[in-house]
Amino acid sequence: MKKLVIALGGNALGNTPYEQLALVTGTAQPIADLIEAGNQVIIAHGNGPQVGMINLAMSTAANAKAIKSDMPFPECGAMSQGYIGYHLQNSIQNELKKRGIRKSVATVVTQVLVNEQDPAFQHPTKPIGAFYSKEEADKIAAEKGYTMVEDAGRGYRQVVPSPKPVDVVEKDMVNTLIDAGHVVITVGGGGIPVIEKDGKLLGVPAVIDKDFASAKLAELVDADALVILTAVDRVAINWGKPDQKELEVMTCEEAERYCKEGHFAPGSMLPKVQAAMSFARTGKEAIIASLENAAAALRGESGTKVIQ
C-alpha cells in the first residue's frame, strides 16, 4: 500500500458547474482504480477558471448593488475549494459505491502558509478574473489599488502574487483522515494563502501554484509518491519539433538543465516539472502522467518518473 498525493490538472475540471460535474464523473474512475488497488489517496486540484469566475461574479454583483461588497480573494479561493471539492467527492464516492468499496471521501478547506517576505508579493504575475479595456483597468487600479496588466492582447486583467508554499496548516487533519482509511481532497487551487502576523493567520490576495502546493503537501504528510496528472502521457523535450523526445525517467539534474534550456512552457509543464523535482529531492518518486494512465504510470508502464 502506498500513500499517494494526486495533483489533478485543469483538464480534469470544467469551466461551468455543468461541464465540471460531467468531467469529474470521468475523473473519478482512474482515481477509484488507485483506491481499489489499496492505495491511500490524497487529491489536490487547480481552481484557475473557477476562482476567477467566483471573483468576477461577486464583483459584478457588488457593482450592481445586489450585495453590499465584493468578496476578498482568499474567500473566493475558499468558495472554489468547496465547490470543486463537492463535485469531486460526490463523483468519487459514487464510483466507489458502484464498486462496492466502503470509504468516505471528504474535502478539507485548506490554508497554506506563505512567507510575507516572498519576492512574489512585489511582482504579481498571476492573472485572474475578467478582461477590461485600458480605461476600465486604470479606473479599477485607482479605486481598488489592484495591479492591472495587459494579457496576451485580450485586454487588461488583475494580477495577483504567486508565492511559494511554506507549510500546510491542516496537514495533521489530512493525515488523521488518511490514517483512518478515508479519501481526502485538500490544498484545492493551491490552498488559501495565509501569512502569520502577531501570532495569527491572515488570508492574503494571492494564488499558490497547485503543483507546488501538492509537492509541499506530499513532503509534509510523508507520501510515498507525488503523481501530477496532466493532458499528456509523458514529459517531452523539443515539444512540437521533429526531434521531440518523450522521457520515461528524468533525474533532477537533467530536469534542471531542460528547464534552463527552455523546454517547458511557463504556466504549463514548467511548474509541474519544478514541483516534481522539489519532491524527488526528498528521496521519493514523483510521476508526471496523463489522468487516464495514472495506474499504469505507477507500475512504470506510462508517465515520466522524476528521481533524485
DSSP state of 131: E
Q: What is d(CA 97, CA 114) in angstroms, rounded to the nearest whole number?
A: 38
Cβ 291 vs Cβ 3: under 8 Å? no
Q: What is d(CA 294, CA 32) in angstroms, rounded to the nearest whole number?
A: 11
Q: What is d(CA 175, CA 198) in angstroms, rounded to the nearest whole number?
A: 27
Please tell me which residue in 171, 272, 303, 305 is annotated as part of the active site. Answer: 272
Please tell me which residue in 47, 48, 190, 210 is annotated as part of the active site. Answer: 210
Q: What is d(CA 125, CA 142) in angstroms, rounded to the nearest whole number?
A: 19
CA count, 13 A, side-chain hemisphere, 211: 22
272 annotated active-site: yes
* Strand order, beta sheet including 165-168: 165-168, 111-114, 192-197, 200-203
Please tell me which residue in 10, 103, 155, 203 is annotated as part of the active site. Answer: 10
241 annotated active-site: no
A 10 A CB-CB count for 202 gives: 12
216 annotated active-site: no
11 annotated active-site: yes
According to DSSP H, which parts of the chain are helical?
A: 17-36, 48-63, 73-98, 134-144, 171-179, 210-220, 252-260, 269-280, 294-298
Please tell me which residue in 14, 48, 85, 126 is annotated as part of the active site. Answer: 126
What the block records as the C-alpha cell of 281 is 529531492
According to DSSP H, which parts of 37-169 are helical?
A: 48-63, 73-98, 134-144
Q: What is d(CA 110, CA 221) in angstroms, rounded to the nearest whole number?
A: 14
10 annotated active-site: yes
Residues annotated as catalytic (active site), given as ranges: 10-11, 126, 210, 272
